[in-house]
Structure formats: structure tokens, C-alpha cells
Structure 1
């Protein structure tokens, strides 16, 4: 990620095709270690490509990645609460199971606070 960040900083700074030395100097200016092999690999992958197209392509790829959590819809009421106000979305209630733990001999009859 630090190589990508250095590349983006160089491009935003006006250098449309930064070299390996440019990226190394950016990384060293902030005290980060640089791996020239990785930098060269990255530069070979982005050579001749437009940065805005690369970012757009990356966004499309990330859009299809599952995030791992449930998404809840949130309705926002219009200011003033007039006739155009949307009703608040109700979240489904989660039933919590409370399992009673049977007393076991895990502590071998001893308790920390007895």
C-alpha cells in the first residue's frame, strides 16, 4: 500500500509517470522502507495506464467484495416532518438465547474467590 500511496502522491504532484527513484525518494522522505523489486513490479503493472481509469476499475472490483456484515436500511425523515417524511425503518428484533451454564468441575472444586 505504501508504494501505491507514493505513486498517487507523485501523480498528484504533477509527475504523470513517476520512476522507481521518484517513489523511493518519496518513501524515504517519510522514513518508510522501500523494496525496489516491488516498486518495479508495481510500475510495470501500471505502465501506460491512466490513473483515473485504474481507480475506477478498482472501485468496481471492490463493489463486488462482500463486507461480512449485515446491512441495515436506514430511512431519513425529511426536515420538518411534513407529509413527505418517510417513516422510520423498524429493525427486526433479535431474540437472545440465554443459556444457563451448568456448574461443572472445570475449576476442580476450587474457586478464585472462595
Structure 2
């Protein structure tokens, strides 16, 4: 992923045809290791292709990938109505706790794109 990011950064910087050395220089500037095999694989796969078309086709492929969570609680129907409301009430605090954990992890923002 870091090789792809370096390639896209080179394109954004105005380099219309980044070389392996360009990518190594970008990765080295942030202290990331440059894997020669991955760089060569990327450059060979995208040779003579338009990056905007590649991104568009990738977006179309990702649109068909299911990405929703199944988090619903299934409660078996029993004769009495008391079990289902109690189970639904018990499930609600768990959802709130997960949301709180997500917010806490976003506060940090101390991650590195190339790690």
C-alpha cells in the first residue's frame, strides 16, 4: 500500500511517469523501507495505463463487495413477550460502547501513512 501511495504522491507532484528511483526517494524521505519487488510489480502492472481509469475500475469492483456489519441481535421467539424486549434493551448499551470506543481511537490521529 505504501508503494501505491508513493506512486500517487509522485503523480500529484507533477511526475507523469514515476520511476522506481522516484518511488524509493519518496519512501526514503519518510523513513519507510522500499521493497524493490513490490515497486517493480506495481510499475509493470500499471505500465501504459491511465491512473484515473484504473481508480475508476477499482471503484466499480469495490462497489460489489459487501461491507456492512451484521450486528443485529437475533432473539428466538418464545411464548412470552417479556424476553424479546429485555434482550433488545440489553443490546443497546453495547452499541453505544462501540461508538464511544470508535470516537476515542479517532482522537489520536498520530498514525503514519507509511507504517
Point out which structure has higher relative CO (alpha carbons under 8 A, 6+ apart).
2
User: Could you tell me how far apart the structure 2 residues matched to 1:65 and 1:21 are?
Assistant: 35
Larger Rg: 1
**What's the Cα RMSD here?**
1.9
CA separation in 1, counterparts of 2:16 and 2:54? 13
Quote the offset at 1:37 in angstroms.
Answer: 1.0
What is the correspondence of 1:26-41 to structure 2 with a 5 Å cutoff?
26-41=26-41
Match of 2:105 in 1: none
| Match in the other structure for 1:62 | 62
What SS does the corresponding residue of 2:44 show, helix, strand or coil?
Answer: helix
SS of residue matched to 1:18: coil
Q: Which runs of 5+ in 2 are unaligned?
A: 71-83, 91-115
Hey, what's the Cα distance between the residues in 2 that align with 1:61 and 1:4?
18
Q: Give aligned pairs, total.
A: 75
Residue 68 of structure 1 deviates from its aligned partner by 3.9
Richer in helix (by share)? 2
> Please, what TM-score do these two structures have when normalized by structure 1?
0.61
Which aligned pairs between 1:64-83 and structure 2 lie closer than 5 A? 64-70=64-70
